[in-house]
Amino acid sequence: MSSSKRVSLKGSERTALPGAHITGATDPHQLIEVSVILNHRTPLTQSLNLAENRIERMTHAKYADTHGANPSDIERIKQFAQENNLQVLERGDEVARRTVTLAGTADAMERAFSVELREYEHPEGSYRGRVGTIQVPEDLAGSIQGVFGLDDRTVAHPHYRYHTARGAFGARTASTSYNPPAVAEAYDFPTAATSGSGPAAGQTIGIIELGGGYRPADLKTYFKSLGLTEPSVKSVSVNHGKNRPTTAQSADGEVMLDIEVAGGVAQGAKIVVYFTPNTDQGFMDAISTAIHDQANSPSVISISWGGPESTWTQAAMTSLDQIAAEAALLGVTITVASGDNGSSDGVTDGQNHVDFPASSPHVLACGGTSLIANGATIQSETVWNDGSQGGAGGGGYSTIFPRPAWQSAVVTQNFRGVPDVAGDADPETGYNIRVDSQNMVVGGTSAVAPLWAGLIAILNQQLSTKLGFVNPQLYAMNQSAGFHDITKGNNGTMGAKPGWDPCTGLGSPDGVGLLHTLQSTTSGSATTTQQTTSRQKQPTSAD
């Protein structure tokens, strides 16, 4: 039996959204599913140090045995569920994902977690919410990292922008726009195929989507128009999320941008789209599902959604960052858009803010530039900033996560600097994309996350390895060997400068330069706990 004394879960404090008002109590019979995320069996610190220094990488089995949930903790949660009239929805991956899914009525959830659930009306959408903390029996508190799903407010926004007339929706002719392969050409992505058809053949790119959908007919038409083989695209449902395309005014623009950019620059790669609800629970469950998905085995995951750090609970940020750290151990790279609202990240308090999960120290945060290129020649590249009437690439310094060791040589602040890298994001120099039977020009840092995911997939294939958590390597290399340094422009209060800066990070990619540098730095380094990964130099278009 669980202890009768209850304590608050650290970091679970919630307040109502500004501008929200209660419309009534949640129906006590409403069915709710929550994710109980448990602590790691042993801390990740030592294993992460080995992974970050490319000494050792874990197999899924070794990870589960070493750092997965303690089976005894899972059994205690099952006992807690039984005592509180909740049902355990078993998936079979509870140990690896450290997640136990519980289902029950709102009334049972309120009693189990000592919360009051209310219905809120808000300009951005109604939601079920709570205020205060979540409480659990004292003898369980030390095993639980967080409980998510009681509150189902929207937590993230897609970071894409259509090139439109100010204040209007719809496509118009951009002054400059590119097909994704043209952007890859400007950034000198390696083009030689090591197997199959395309430089990324053999790789799988995972994409996280918190809404919207894609139409296979649109993808067929789009890739045919580019003269490219249509990539294999499949969807995975997480927490009842579905591929639900509607109109181009919806998040369909995000989904199609992600697929078409990733597929357009990483030819030959397979694409798996993980659809999930736009809640903290959905976001975390989708990422953990993707990194532990041994059936599809994505080597890189692209995320183009996020929100200001100030809008997240501490528990949610801690849990999601820990999931990203698991990806680092398993050799999975996560690329994340840094946001489209400049140094304020859209918060109107006059302060600087950065976007999460881009601010997680275990992801590759992707900022935005304005690119003018002719074929393989970059004529100019500056920080993306369309001024007060448009968007700007997100960037700045976290208020939550301390500066990681691999940033210590270039970041003078004591907190994590964002972004790490950059790429074309300006809608004025955007991407030609097809969305719900309409051809449009789209930009935003949402385009940069799949752009870099595509490059990582190519590099993985060319190097015959999984780069995994690549940040320490990128920061340790000679910047001019793999990046175009962006030194002009600002995203609000943050300005570009030589070297790393909080607008464009290390800069935009020089794909072949990165390949050549990584060929010399990755050779003979990382091993798994079961086998050594062989690496051979592969020919590139520059050889």
Q: Is residue 182 very low, low, confident or very high in pLDDT (cuts 50, 70, 90)?
A: very high
Q: What pLDDT does 54 receive? A: 73
Tell me phi and psi for residue 447, to 5 degrees.
Answer: -75, -25
Could you tell me which residues come within 8 angstroms of residue 122 by beta carbon, excluding any fewer than 6 positions away?
Answer: 17, 19, 20, 153
Domain boundaries, the chain: 6-148, 157-520
Distances (CA, A) of 119 to 15, 16, 131, 151: 13, 11, 12, 10
Which residue of the set 52, 110, 188, 254 is catalytic?
254
- The 8-class DSSP code of residue 385 comes to B
Q: 430-445 pLDDT, tens per residue?
A: 999 999 999 999 999 9
The first and second tokens of residue 189, run together, are 């992505």
Task: Return mean pLDDT, the chain.
Answer: 92
Q: 332-358 pLDDT, tens per residue?
A: 999 999 999 999 999 999 999 999 999
Is 235 catalytic? The answer is no
Q: Is residue 381 very low, low, confident or very high in pLDDT (cuts 50, 70, 90)?
A: very high
Is 424 catalytic? The answer is no
Q: Is 179 helix (H, G, I), strand (E, B) or coil?
A: coil
Q: Are 482 and 514 in contact (CB under 8 A)?
A: yes
Of 364, 317, 308, which Cα lies nearest the Cα of 336?
364
When pLDDT is averaged across residues 530-534 and rounded to a whole number, the result is: 32
262 or 388, higher pLDDT: 262
pTM greater than 0.75: yes
Q: What pLDDT does 197 receive? A: 82
Q: Does domain 157-520 have CATH number 3.40.50.200?
A: yes
Which residue of the set 177, 304, 370, 446 is catalytic?
446
When pLDDT is averaged across residues 126-134 and rounded to a whole number, the result is: 97
Is 302 catalytic? The answer is no
For residue 419, cis peptide bond before it (omega within 30 degrees of 0): yes
Which residue of the set 258, 326, 424, 436 is catalytic?
258
